Structure 1
Amino acid sequence: MLRKATLAAMFLWSLNSWALPADIQAAKDEGMRLYNIGQSTTAMTYLSQAANAGDVESMYYMGEAERRQHMLGFTNEAMGWYLQAAEQGDPYSMLRLFNGGACLISDRCPDEGDDWRKATLDVTLPKAEAGDPEAMLALHYIYNTLNHEWWDAMFNWLGLPTASNKWLERAAEAGLPEAQTILGNHIMNGKGWYFTKSRRLTAAEKWTERAVEQGYVPAMERMEIIKRKQADFEESWQWMERASREGSVSNRLGLGWCYLDPSYSSDGRCVNEADLIQGWAILYSLKAELEDNSAKNIMSRNSDKLTEAERREAEMLAEEEWIGREPPLSRFPPRFGY
């Protein structure tokens, strides 16, 4: 159970209120790099060092890594990490405990109650109302998770404001790039009332652009899609190149595939001329760094386009220009996803 003093201190909730020692911070950084490329099991070796040193964010991602390792199962190990983070006021860990039924399956409940939903709101709502954008975004996830009432579901279906949407908009208006990107994506995918496709995409672009201006790479990935939907293929290509340079796995894969086979896509994304050496080099680098199955499959289907000498040249180019580039590769998994 959560101690009363800890619960009271949650109103001062901060994911990390002190600096980690340099070696522990380095371990956390490596753990997050591995987690972000989908190697969550290996990441745990590094994240556990920061989590055991008191880093709340690392505790949460240890829980996430445990959960993913067991096919999204709610294991005792995952629950243990979520509980540690929840004691420090982390709302995402509390939501995992709620979704996993921690009170029901193990009687691990917040102090003075049996409802992780209420505990999460008690922690987060005061901070959001005081103007904290991170807390506002957390409330978006909280209310979205708790959205079981039929009228909220109907409002959501109609595109009308719900508590979840309102807090997402407030977080976006407060300048949080993650919230701006999510809001733009929601609009692009059908939320809200827009009478034409062009107006919808313009509204989505407005929010996404604000996140891009802050260097937020998932927003660059979204901009590539928005521009493609607007049939601005030249600019879409530029966004794919930029996101690739900033470490986007999906956009680097698209870039390599376009260079290797510009005709592969019928949606206009490949505006380039074929460059077999460059394409093979990019895909080879993804295979070497990530063991990426998509890159492997594309290379296998197109291997007859290059001679053995050309493949060796491409692999040398990969070693020189693509493997180990900074910033590091990332799949940019959502903070509170499946």
Structure 2
Amino acid sequence: MKITKLLNTSLCIFFLFLCNTANAALTQQQEEAKKKGIELYNQYKAISAIDFLKIAADGGDDDALYYLGEALRKNNRYMTQEAQKAYEDSAKKGNIYSMIRLGEANEDLCVTMKNCSPTEHSPEEWTNKAKELATEQASKGNAESMYLLWEITGNDDWLEKSAERGFALAQFRLATKYQEGGGAFLLPSRRSDAIEKWMKASAENGYPPGMMGFAAARIEKNDLSSFRFWNEKAATLSYVSGVFGYASYIGGIEPTYGFQSDPVKSYALLSNLLELDGGGNVINNVNDTLPEVEKNMSKEQIAEAKNLAKTWKSTHPPLSFYPDKLGY
């Protein structure tokens, strides 16, 4: 009993220390590297992101360390020693996402390959600490921490609480859960209403996948105006799915869903998508669609479109697939 208490006390002291390890301020170069690294990561260019994330990680930024761990793990398809160190350094600064990843180490491919790196603390210990910190933050009304508690525990009450508190990703996940048959509804219409309610909330809170989800819900009710609005909104936020859909809809001689024909903008947006050569399979779709738009354009229109592509890129966020931060 004394030994158990001693171990628990030692663990508590360790975690108290790690969560009090503050982030050091990044230099401008490190901040820019972090921004670029996350941009590339969100474009499914994990390999290209690594060098940038290492620069920011060297500055001790917990989020950069987490993304570095993610990029290394996804590139290698398992948690390498370098990825594990990045997660551990991030977790020691109180990053709950990294704690969750370390808590999942027993399910990593390295277990099957029998080449997992030695760890200072067990996955169970990291999971317990993630739960402890998330619970503490959730008790103060932190909606993101409520969502993380759902990720940790699988308790849908936390997902609902997070959604009700306005966390856009939780709202999207709740709507998706209902779409997939989760939840209990007396009537199918009640389920549809709940899906639309939470997709709308997610969209209005600025989450592009939620915008596209709400657009899809509105098109089912033949609300073309709302469909067009949210599709274009997702495109202006550079969500890849939204950009491709919007560009495709406005590119034809006879545009669909009531969009106004604009082949110049369509060409510009589609050509910008060609930079996404790291993954997501969007390139194949663009290569099929762009020639169909181009064949009906004059040389002057193509030149105008190329200029617009540059202007659009400089005045809008970087293209992003908006991947789930805890996604695989």
TMscore range, shorter length:
0.7 to 0.9
Please list, as runs of the form range in 1=range in 2, the aligned pairs for 1:219-298 lying within 5 A after superposition: 219-261=210-252, 270-287=257-274, 289-291=275-277, 292-293=282-283, 294-298=285-289
- Pairing partner for 1:61 from 67, 71, 94: 67
Alignment partners' CA distance in 2, 1:197 and 1:262 = 39
Q: Identity of aligned pairs, percent?
A: 29
The equivalent of 1:170 in structure 2 is 161
Q: Report the AA paired with residue 278 of structure 1.
A: K
Please list, as runs of the form range in 1=range in 2, the aligned pairs for 1:1-338 lying within 5 A after superposition: 5-9=13-17, 19-70=25-76, 72-101=77-106, 105-110=116-121, 115-144=125-154, 163=155, 165-261=156-252, 270-287=257-274, 289-291=275-277, 292-293=282-283, 294-300=285-291, 303-306=294-297, 310-320=301-311, 322-338=312-328
Superposed CA deviations along residues 133-180 of structure 1, whole A, max 9, x for unmatched, are 222111111123xxxxxxxxxxxxxxxxxx2x1111111222222222
| Contact 1:221 1:251 (8 Å CA) reproduced | yes
- Quote how far apart the aligned CAs of 1:279 are: 1.9
The equivalent of 1:155 in structure 2 is none
Superposed CA deviations along residues 266-315 of structure 1, whole A, max 9, x for unmatched, are xxx7322443333222211222x434513223224555444555434432
- Quote how far apart the aligned CAs of 1:195 are: 4.1
- Quote how far apart the aligned CAs of 1:3 are: 6.6
| Contact 1:35 1:65 (8 Å CA) reproduced | yes
The equivalent of 2:7 in structure 1 is none
Superposed CA deviations along residues 15-37 of structure 1, whole A, max 9, x for unmatched, are x7665343322221222222222
Alignment partners' CA distance in 2, 1:168 and 1:329 = 28
Question: Aligned in 2, Cα 1:114/1:251: closer, same or farther, shift over 3 Å?
Answer: closer
**SS state of the match for residue 51, structure 2?**
helix
Question: Aligned in 2, Cα 1:138/1:26: closer, same or farther, shift over 3 Å?
Answer: same
Alignment partners' CA distance in 2, 1:334 and 1:30 = 18
Question: Aligned in 2, Cα 1:279/1:85: closer, same or farther, shift over 3 Å?
Answer: same
Aligned residues: 308
Structure 1 gaps of 5+ residues are 145-162
Alignment partners' CA distance in 2, 1:55 and 1:282 = 34
Question: Aligned in 2, Cα 1:22/1:241: closer, same or farther, shift over 3 Å?
Answer: same
Question: Aligned in 2, Cα 1:190/1:279: closer, same or farther, shift over 3 Å?
Answer: same
Q: Report the AA paired with residue 118 of structure 1.
A: N
- Quote how far apart the aligned CAs of 1:65 are: 0.7
Scaled by the length of structure 1, what TM-score is found? 0.78
**SS state of the match for residue 315, structure 2?**
coil
Question: Aligned in 2, Cα 1:9/1:172: closer, same or farther, shift over 3 Å?
Answer: farther
Alignment partners' CA distance in 1, 2:120 and 2:60 = 21
The equivalent of 1:158 in structure 2 is none
